[in-house]
Amino acid sequence: MNKTIDLGIEGMTCAACVARVEKVLARVPGVSTAQVNLATHRARVTATPQVAFETLVTAVTKAGYGAVPVAQMRDESLPLWRVLVAAGLSLPLVAPMAFGHAAMLPGWAQALIAAPVQLWLGAPFFVAGWKSLRGGGSMDTLVALGTAAAFLLSLALMLAAWPGEAHALYFEASAVVITLVLLGRWLEQRARGRAASAIAALAALRPEVAVVLRDGVETSVQVAALAVGDVVVVRPGERIAVDGVVLEGAGSVDESLLTGEALPVAKSPGGKLTGGAINGEARLLVRTTAVGAESVLSRMVRLVEDAQAGKAPVQRLADRVSAVFVPVVAGIALVTFAGWLLAGAGSSDALVNAVSVLVIACPCALGLATPTAIMVGTGVAARRGILIRDAGALEIAHKVNVVVFDKTGTLTEGHPVVVATHKLGDADVLGLAACLQAGSEHPLARAVLALRPGALPAEGVRSLPGRGVEGRVDGARVLLGSAVLMAEAGVEIAALQSEAAALAADGRTMAYLAADGVLLGLIGFGDTVKPAASEAIAKLQAMGVRTVLLSGDTKAAAEAVGRLVGITDVRAEVLPADKAAVVAALRAGGDVVAMVGDGVNDAPALAAADIGFAMGTGTDVAMQAAGVTLMRGDPRLVADAIDLSRKTWRTLWRGLFWAMGYNVLGIPVAAMGWLDPMIAGAAMAFSSVSVVLNALWLRQCD
């Protein structure tokens, strides 16, 4: 059994760095996969149990980067003051552009001003660029080479003309390029921080302290010290610290940040609570059912982290390009320098054009386009109650053209209720039925008792398996059950034949009621359709997605639900073992199929689909088999998830287009000598920022 190891990677600046770290990790014996994310600066490695964390750290270190446990990741953010100091020193160097030749400083003054920018503020580029050289270079290598060439050329020209003044110096180019790269990196890290806000928002929902009730005394303890079975006191307005069940108290709970549901949810004794939700107006006593890593909130955070740490298949395109990018760009810069020399240009002009090529070609944007879009997309989804397991699921979801819905618990509420009552004469049909069912845990009994709570139990109650129940109420022998039971007892049911036929046509379950051999009435049971089900189907169909209803129920019951929600393709009486075969057949026909379910018997079908959607109100087995978990039982979230996936994918490709467009257009322009190094630096910095801002546009979907 392979294990998963997460590492924090230090010193990465571009897509070339990502490709290099992945390559060295993948070469470690025992490692099967290695995925590195530039936006989160994390690596996820799948390896055999024999692979030690220290071995992976050594491999990354040899490649010129740092590796630490995720919990020990240091803040590598660029302080704003470095950007401001670089800008302040660069302004006198670019003053002649605004105020003319009279504002130009002597060469020695330019050198003194540019030196701190180049040698102090720009030092990290040289350190990181040197470390990455053994693997083929990185963005820092290009910046270091370009700015060093401009600075050294200017220094040489100045010294050659000493004590006079050289006519063409490029100190401003080296200083401004470093300043712009620093500014771009600062803006980029701010934007990345906003992109990563989803996990921070979820993690912030966890209270650190809870009030526990022990031996009748309320005591404040650290949440980490709580155990399953502890009774926690939740006061009005407090955030709930643990997953649990209400023992005492009744009120409303705000679960919006967990499920996306705006309306408060009513809770009473026996109701389930999720840690992170906000208690309303009542004092609640809660028995803890899950703590720590097993809580719903922790699992949500873990799922979002997994999705953001993963790599979408489309990212492989960017990785293949970036793996050879830096060496190719260095080669183009050399060809540019040589070409201009052969064309008769001076060495200084040739070098400036080569510097422009090095600066404009930075592959930062290429490495950020995909992971930032995925970070923002999965974060927006999480805030709406949609948990996406990995980037692959996000990529598949936008292609879905067929959604298969399980019926029970997905489009319907999942438990029977009384939908019709017919009586003969003035008999209290529900009251008598409740007396027979008092104390029973049968689903149909609960449906009756929900309408008539507190009924006095009948005498001599006896269950008749497969047929119904009998007992004595006020001395009369009362029967509740099927037509077969009525026939056995000699009860004539023809008087309610038309009503029974109507219920049967809608797929309802029926129970006749009789007393002392006389028919008194008929009760119809059914699983009610969720209020939002028809809206969910209409939205999917408007998006061009075909819908299929799959059920093990009778044809009449399944078709009745299909009519109510607007699904015409209904597959009924399908055994649990055959659901996966139906999904596989749809896929074999060329469709990209999503399966939506909530039960254990849906797990095979969820796994067989291109992507599975599990209702968070369902079983853990279903959630484990699905690529997407919907935190509340609202089928409209299926359409929301597909729509968000489509928007994320459009955003991702738009980012890749911008990133590649900068390089494809910028490199030839720079090589032709039409791009000053300062303009190239500004364009390179803007490319990274624009790609991240493009991804942040997705937050408008929240």
Three-state secondary structure call for residue 441: coil
d(CA 639, CA 529): 18
Nearest Cα residue to 385 out of 621, 624, 196, 636: 636
Q: Rounded to an integer, what distance in angstroms lies between the CA atom of residue 124 and that of residue 14?
A: 14
The phi-psi region of residue 374 (left if phi > 0; otherwise alpha if psi is between -120 and 50; otherwise beta) is alpha
The sign one gets for the Cα dihedral 128, 134, 139, 142 is positive
User: How many residues belong to the chain?
Assistant: 702
CB contact at 8 A, 93 and 129: no
Q: Annotated catalytic, 406?
A: yes
Report the C-alpha gap between 148 and 346 in whole angstroms: 19
Q: What's the CA dihedral at 485, 488, 494, 499 to 10 degrees? A: 10
Residue in 370, 310, 321, 358 with CA at minimum distance from that of residue 692: 370
| 3-state SS class at 593 | strand
Instruction: Enter the tokens of residue 65.
Output: 């980067």
The 278-279 sheet, strands edge to edge: 265-267, 251-254, 278-279
Helix (H, G, I), strand (E, B) or coil at 471: strand
- Identify each DSSP E strand in 489-533 by its residue range: 509-515, 518-529
Residue 683, burial from CB neighbour count under 10 angstroms (0-12, 13-18, 19+): buried
> Identity (one letter) of the amino acid at 402?
V
The amino acid at residue 83 is: V
CA gap 193, 201 in Å, rounded: 12
Q: Provide the angle, in degrees to the nearest 10, between the axes of the packed helices 636-671 and 325-342.
A: 30
Options 254, 406, 598, 634, the catalytic residue? 406
Torsion of CA 192, 194, 196, 200, to 10 degrees: 140
Nearest to 448 by CA among 432, 424, 467: 432
Task: Tell me 407's DSSP state.
Answer: I
Instruction: Give the DSSP H or E segment for 281.
Output: none
Structure tokens at 455: 């009924």
- Cβ-Cβ contacts under 8 Å for 636 (sequence gap 6 or more): 532, 535, 536, 539
Q: What is the dihedral sign for C-alpha 555, 558, 560, 562? A: negative
How large is the greatest C-alpha to C-alpha distance in the chain, in angstroms? Answer: 125
Catalytically annotated residues:
406
